[in-house]
Amino acid sequence: MIDVGTTGMGAGMPGGHGAIIRHAHPASIDRLAAEIPKLRIVMAHPGWPWVEETTAVALHKGNVYWEMSGWAPKYFPGSLKVDMRGRLQDKIMFGSDYPSMPYERILREWNELGYSDEVMEKIFHQNAERILGL
């Protein structure tokens, strides 16, 4: 599992506490997945501000998957919310970042996205079971 997009760690601190956002660009995962096609890679977090590029990597690379921890679902970027119910539904896995976000809140916000039961079953357990071989 590799982080993509910005991180809350160091946010607002002088120098971002040393975190270099560009190191979490999905281009690095694209290259790694191409160079080691048998490696199963899970991208962590929504990938903002590179959501479209992160989506492209997930769709293009059969060995790359995506979990959604670290963000409240109501803040997921609009295009990601749309793609999770469609072309990304077999690539996405639930993630929580508990205890920084209470389960009651995150589960309520996932339900408020209005996805079908079939899509929610994939995101909440079927995809992880398949991808992780459980």
Domains by residue range for the chain, with CATH: 2-7+20-132 (3.20.20.140)
What is the SS3 assignment for 113? coil
What is the SS3 assignment for 43? strand
Cβ neighbour number for residue 58 with a 10 Å cutoff: 26
d(CA 100, CA 9): 12
Model pLDDT, residue 117:
98
d(CA 104, CA 117): 18
pLDDT digits (tens, 9 = 90+) for 36-72: 999 999 999 999 999 999 999 999 999 999 999 989 9
Confidence of residue 88 (pLDDT cuts 50, 70, 90): very high
d(CA 46, CA 23): 15
Confidence of residue 7 (pLDDT cuts 50, 70, 90): confident
* Confidence (pTM): 0.92
The answer to whether residue 9 scores a pLDDT higher than 80 is no
pLDDT digits (tens, 9 = 90+) for 89-126: 999 999 988 898 999 999 999 999 999 999 999 999 99
Model pLDDT, residue 54:
98
